[in-house]
Amino acid sequence: MWGIELNRCNGVSLKRQIYEALKVQMLDGRLREDDVLPSTRELSRSLNVSRGTVNEAYDMLIAEGFVVSHQGASTRVAEGLYIKTTPSSGALADVAPLPKRLTIDFQTGKPDLRLFPQFSWRQLLGRALADTSIELYNYSGPQGLVSLREELSAWLMRGRGLAVDPDDIFITAGATHALHILSMILCGDGRQMLVEDPCHDGMRRTFLNNGCAVTPIPVDSHGMQTRYLPQEGGIGALYVTPSHQFPFGGVLPATRRAALIRYAQEHDAYIIEDDYDSEFRYSGDPISPLHALDPQRVIYVGTFSKVLFPALRIGYAIIPERLRKQWILKRTYIDVQSPLLEQVVLAEFIRTRKLEGHILRMRKQYGQRRDTLLNSLREYFGDAWVAYGDAAGLHMTIDFPEMKFDEAFAENCLQRGMRITPLERHCIKKGQHISKLLIGYGHLEPSEITQGIQYLSQVMRELK
């Protein structure tokens, strides 16, 4: 009756069902402009519902302008309601699916979450929540929590000799987020972003995402080769990983550091220093950040995704004074600020020196795993390989001079239950590093590493 079929079992109220059924007919053209709707008395009788229910449905249609009703007159369909709906495209996101089960996962950049001190973290969370002040729930500003910035400032001095004021530090939702904001500020107007080649593919995509012109500068085993820096203008920024070049592992020598600074000064460009894993250096002292050489020219970017855990989404950037106003404006209109609770807990984690204790423990574990990986490589590959970047971090690059590793190789490995990264994936100029693989080992136990390398040697023989 009137195109309305009521379902009294589906939990949707009868007034909403009447409203929806009439609305659909007005939109698809079955009911047309100026058509008269049945009186509420008539409709309530034919549908066997109370007149009040019909009245409420009509009130919804009136409130939203689907029908027009004048005191005492009939209820009529409003003008211009006919629309067609857009068909769905069927073009669903085809984000690369993973095979059902990975036997061995040599992906890079993954910390071992099994060793994360959940108990301490939960304890601090509980303590943070005991503070019932509403400030924990309110806006707290785009720069991030003051107490966290104070603790970070003290920690950066203790651990890296970096002298920064809490006002210099800007909390982010991780390193990618910092690079997103920085590329908007520094290269959003089409200026060039100079990057190392190879360079982390995800970071390069972050720059491209913002329309930056990305220019590769070749890397050797020490890092960016500053003699290849272009002499033209229009340079917005240089993105470098001087403490542990990704993925080659070089420590940028002082002479090149000074050259980078002079270059940035001459071109009025900024240097973005991504210090993504220098906490885990296995011999000698931590490398001094480039930032210390010229704090008004170098932007230092750090993250807790590897030191603590990825789901935390907290990183930070040390921003020169000249860029702070732009940073605050960009951040405000990108995502306002970071959530507060995690900032409170992280500040306490640093203040109580739990962060340093955790890093020390993890450095020892990761160091043992690095040794296991090197030993396993010797065991299964003899001396037919060379390691790069094994002095720090959670991954290393292995050169097998006889081999060719491309995306087809990676895909073949995936089909066999093993995830591994050809170095070529991170190269802008292709074909230079075809014999190299990236092996992430930090998240694997020694026995998993040994089995993984054994399996890798087997797969490499099969696929050769």
The conformation of residue 289, written as its DSSP 8-state character, comes to P
Say how far apart CA 197 and CA 257 lie, in whole Å: 17
Q: Rank residues 49 and 403 by Cβ distance to a second copy and give the closer one.
A: 49
Q: Which two tokens stand for residue 63?
A: 């409130």
The separation between CA 155 and the C-alpha centre of its own chain, rounded to angstroms, equals: 24
Asked if residue 198 has a cis previous peptide bond (ω within 30° of 0), the answer is yes
Question: Shortest Cβ distance from residue 315 to a second copy (Å)?
Answer: 10
Question: Shortest Cβ distance from residue 436 to a second copy (Å)?
Answer: 24
Q: Rank residues 33 and 379 by Cβ distance to a second copy and give the closer one.
A: 33
Q: Rank residues 302 and 377 by Cβ distance to a second copy and give the closer one.
A: 302
Q: Which two tokens stand for residue 464?
A: 């050769």
Q: Rank residues 226 and 376 by Cβ distance to a second copy and give the closer one.
A: 226
Question: Shortest Cβ distance from residue 69 to a second copy (Å)?
Answer: 13
Asked if residue 247 has a cis previous peptide bond (ω within 30° of 0), the answer is yes
Question: Shortest Cβ distance from residue 82 to a second copy (Å)?
Answer: 7
Q: Rank residues 202 and 408 by Cβ distance to a second copy and give the closer one.
A: 202
Q: Is 294 helix (H, G, I), strand (E, B) or coil?
A: coil
Residues making up the chain, counted from first to last: 464
Question: Shortest Cβ distance from residue 47 to a second copy (Å)?
Answer: 18
Q: Rank residues 263 and 455 by Cβ distance to a second copy and give the closer one.
A: 263
CB 290 within 8 A of CB 260: yes
Which of these, 19, 16, 13, 12, lies nearest to 2 by C-alpha position? 19
Question: Shortest Cβ distance from residue 64 to a second copy (Å)?
Answer: 5
Q: Rank residues 128 and 374 by Cβ distance to a second copy and give the closer one.
A: 128
Q: Rank residues 319 and 460 by Cβ distance to a second copy and give the closer one.
A: 319
Say how far apart CA 24 and CA 28 lie, in whole Å: 6
Q: Rank residues 70 and 464 by Cβ distance to a second copy and give the closer one.
A: 70
CA 289 to each of CA 27, 170, 314: distance values in angstroms, whole numbers, following the listed order: 63, 17, 20
Q: Which residues in 393-405 are b (16+ Cβ under 10 Å) and which e? A: bbbbbbebeebeb
Question: Shortest Cβ distance from residue 404 to a second copy (Å)?
Answer: 29
CA 148 to each of CA 167, 316, 351, 447: distance values in angstroms, whole numbers, following the listed order: 11, 10, 9, 38
Say how far apart CA 72 and CA 28 lie, in whole Å: 28
Burial of 118 from C-beta contacts in 10 A (0-12 / 13-18 / 19+) = exposed
Which of these, 286, 257, 261, lies nearest to 157 by C-alpha position? 286
Question: Shortest Cβ distance from residue 184 to a second copy (Å)?
Answer: 8
Question: Shortest Cβ distance from residue 462 to a second copy (Å)?
Answer: 30
Question: Shortest Cβ distance from residue 432 to a second copy (Å)?
Answer: 24
Q: Which two tokens stand for residue 248?
A: 């080659």
Q: Rank residues 328 and 434 by Cβ distance to a second copy and give the closer one.
A: 328
Strand order in the sheet with 386-388: 386-388, 395-399, 436-440, 421-422
